[in-house]
Structure 1
Amino acid sequence: MDPRLPTLLTAPLSPRPVIEATYLDVLVRDGLPAGTGFSIALPRGWAVERTATAAPGPEAPLVPLARFYPGEPGATGAAEGVELVVWAAFLPREIHGADWLRAWMRSQGYRELDFRQAPSPTGMMGDALAAGRHDGGLRLHRLLTVKDGDLLFLIDGRMMQGGPSRGGQADHRVMQEIVLLATMRFRLAEPTGQTFAEGFEWTELKGAHAVRFLASGLWRETPGGDAPPDGASLVLDHVGPDGSTGRGSLIAVLGAAEATAAAALAAAAEIERTTLAKLANQGFTLSADAERIAEERTAERSLLLHRRKARRNGTSMTILAAQVALSETGGADAHSLPVCLILLSPDEDSSFEAWAINRRAFEIALSTVR
């Protein structure tokens, strides 16, 4: 990152007594579409303009709910020309808020200056500092996402660069502190509590033993062909809005029970090698090198996750492959089950939306396999 560019402000700069004296929690619900109300912290002297006429949906996937701005000349942020807009977006498919934010910034032509991700119960949320052109000038944005079921809320603080302070350059830290405090105290008035934007269902792999994991009901399940002895396999295909496939696939394979976790993990690695060899015979060109991106070892499971590049029919692809050993301890039937989960997806440069949906589905399957 260029050290001359502004970076994300991660903690308020003002002392706590100043913050407590300056900011108020404001409930914005009346006049907004049902289910989109929220409370937010704003500086004293700020005004609100409600801008939404209907909730977001398939025909209007992104709507501005309200705009906030200094209503008094001496209000915090008035000299810098700061304003804040809260948007609501409809999510037809489950996706990380961070991935949605990156895709939206690209669609707006924004330049990403700094970006971080934060875990939440509904996935990884995005927090970005970006710059975009507006009315012939440069506007700086601090952008954060909050997700609730199939609604994603975008908090968008902005200010024009070249303002009256700081010798012609408005201090971005003023804007960032306002947005940071707004998001730290942002609460939905009527949260649904739903984790996913779409329905996820338990999918079972059943051989001599059985395992299950959560998979999207919008993905199409087909038998997986040759399964290991005493095991099982299936393929889930990412189905597009028009019913087409080819946007990504998740291969799940269960092997026979092993006496130890180490033996089960070795069996899962062999299942992965066999599956990748079959893919090579089906026209996939696989990179020789695989990057290890995660490793986990607990009493309940052991896991190794790799990523490799691939190509098929001229499309650049990413393959995520997880080797998992699920342990059942205690009793005479103590054993470990080898499981292999493999994601085939266009890479993020070829089709960012498909990649983001596929990666999220894979992560949910991997985190819930049991």
Structure 2
Amino acid sequence: MHSHWQKIPLSFAMNGVQQNSNFQRFTAGPVKYFKIIGICLQPPETLRIKCSRFITVASIFLMLAHQIGYLLTPGRTFAEQSAAVALMNYTTVSFGKILFLIYNRHLLLKSHGQLKAIHPSVELERQYKLEHHLLFYARVEILLYRFFKYILIIYLVYPIVQSFYDLWSTGVYTYLMPSFYWYPVRVEESLLVYLFYVSFQSFASYCAGTIILSADLCLFSSVSQLLLHLELIAQRILELQPAESDSLGALKVIIEYHQRIFMLAHDVNAIFAASIIFSLTSSSFILCFSAYQLLGDVSFIFALKVLLLLCYEMKQVVITCYYGDKLMESSLNLFNVVYAHNWPDGSPAYKRLVLIMMIRTYRPICLNVAGIADVTLITLKQVLSASYQIFAVLKTA
């Protein structure tokens, strides 16, 4: 077993990548959704991808400009403004995420390629019982996609259905719109303007939702793979027999492998730090503004929409913080594993490598917010606390 490690450095986790690997199952969702918004993870970058990127950015920018115009229009009530701010938060988050994804797209492509290069074979995953990482990620992907689909359908279809209901019950079509926009021409005065803005809001909302969905899935997919590699390293360390002559070479391979994972984690943080900041910050505002809307006399359908939005936002924060917590826990566990394995039986050179490994693993790998704070389940508590404080201020306003 150990001689295999020495013959093929760094390849004990890569031996089936090209022929038989679960990497495609980890990345199929992010690759597909990124392609829609113009981010290419499978070179070459075609003209179609570039056009999709331009159209996506332009649509989100125009939607944000119309929403800001609505807020700046005189005569808006506080209830109208709070409802508009809750929806505008999503536009702001999606706009920030797409800009940073475009800025970091070369680093994203590099990280994607490196994760592909070191992904273990299906046989190796089965041998070390690592399949649970893919199974959990697959459930997260399904949950995020279903929330995205149902929220998009409800928020886009409900205004049109309500307008037709008003036409049937009162004889007047109310021209309700999916979002709060400033309109240069009143939509009630022109059917063409109305149809244009309904189509534009639907398309821009779809783009905004796809940006958030793709960025979150790519983050969770990357962290899931890091967790898989960290668990594989831990199990291989426990297999070491320090008294055997080939253990020194095996430990060197493990140290190189861990260093590679450490650098990949650094790249993941660099790519998604801004995305995490936008998600956690906006969550505080969206949670409190959505809850504030439920204080008034609202219809059942409206309350259902707001509750669905609250669940979507809570789900996003909980999963992000959970993954951050698991990454830190798995990284810290390596330190304990290195110390717990039978290193006293090793040679002096082996013991020196163990000391190097313990120094490297003492500081855990973790998701962090721009290098300032680590993302863990404690972060979830802080987000909820901030949401409640803002809600209390709104309630007394």
TM bracket, shorter-chain basis: under 0.3
Higher strand share: 1
- Name the structure with the higher helix share: 2
TM-score normalised according to structure 1 size: 0.22
Structure number with greater CO (CA < 8 Å, separation at least 6) is 2
Per the normalisation by structure 2, the TM-score is 0.21
